[in-house]
Amino acid sequence: MAVRVFIGIGSNLDEPQEQLRKAVAALNDIRDTRLRRVSGIYVSRPMGPADQADYLNAVAELETELAAHDLLDALQAIEHDQGRRRDGERWHERTLDLDILLYGSQCINDRDLVVPHPGMHNRAFVLYPLQELDADISVPGKGHINALIQQELLGEVLQRLDENLCP
């Protein structure tokens, strides 16, 4: 049975807009998975060191037959193919970041995967594009998206670009 999944997409290196576009095309090619919709692109300041470029962010909605860990493996393969190197440093610039934000209504918490994505409930660059896709969604254990957006949010959204990432 297909599961509705939301994927956070971010980049601030090597032509970020093109990185997002290529990532969305690759999401559409994951086996047993269908890309349903993609939000607009949101520009945000980095959460990490301030001496890096602003990020471009979006959220994609998928339907997948894959188990959550198999989907994670597919996302990490896309990141690797687009030049992502995992060096252990958090919140540093990167070519591509793909995060499972929500996997149906499931809560997963193990060594390799935490869903809902930790911190998503207070990050503007996640909540605004997620709300664009589903204004009625709730984050398990955190609340309704509209209530979450009313809280103090991190990662200031500077603007929404008029770009379409759908393949």
Active site residues: 84, 94, 97, 99
- Distance (Å, whole) CA 114 – CA 11: 21
Helix, coil or strand: residue 136: coil
**Would you say 40 and 17 are in contact if contact means Cβ atoms under 8 Å apart?**
no
Helix (H) or strand (E) holding 26: helix 16-28
Token output for 139:
């984050």
128 exposure class (CB count in 10 Å sphere: 0-12, 13-18, 19+): buried
- Distance (Å, whole) CA 81 – CA 44: 24
Token output for 117:
């994505």
Helix, coil or strand: residue 113: coil
- Distance (Å, whole) CA 61 – CA 36: 5
